[in-house]
A = this chain, B = another copy of it.
Amino acid sequence: MADEKLSFGINDSQLEYANSVLQECIDNCTECSRMCLQLIPYCLDMGGEHASSEHIGTLQVCSIMCEACAKLMTLESEFHHDLCRLCAQICITCAIDCERLADDNPLMIDCAEICRKAAESCERMSAH
């Protein structure tokens, strides 16, 4: 089924590559969604700017959007391109916010990196 939907005008190895890019993006968005959710109680315990409504809100929105994006890709919706484009922007915003507050904290740095990886995947998928 996946094959059929993606196969117009491309050969088998191109198709396999397209599918692997899709699966990787689903993985990256899923990981990003979980990481942002996991960071929320951690940031609340840190307090200060980490516990601000702005930072926590950014983590929540990134988690919600990555989850929705992973679902649309799993369902192979034609709308995943546009959602991936928007999701990439949100992931970048979240990465920048985590980097701003990271101060060598390994979990914050981890989260920023996972956000950037998801953003790159999403940008690539938005063009597919």
Interface residues of A (CB under 8 A from B): 1, 26, 30, 34, 37-38, 40-42, 44-45, 47, 51-53, 56-57, 60-61, 64-65, 67-68, 70-72, 74-77, 79, 82-83, 86, 89-90
Contact = CB atoms under 8 A, between A and B. Distances in A.
A57 B77 contact: yes
B40 A56 contact: yes
How many copies of this protein are present in the complex? 4
A57 B86 contact: no
Contact of A37 (B45, B53, B71): B71
A1 B40 contact: no
A45 B1 contact: yes
Contacts of A89: 79, 82
Nearest to A77: B61
Contact of A64 (B1, B42, B68, B90): B68
Contact of A75 (B30, B52, B61, B75): B61
Contact of A79 (B34, B47, B65, B74): B65
Given A26-B34, A82-B86, 4 more contacts: A30-B30, A61-B77, A65-B83, A79-B86
Nearest to A42: B1
A51 B61 contact: no
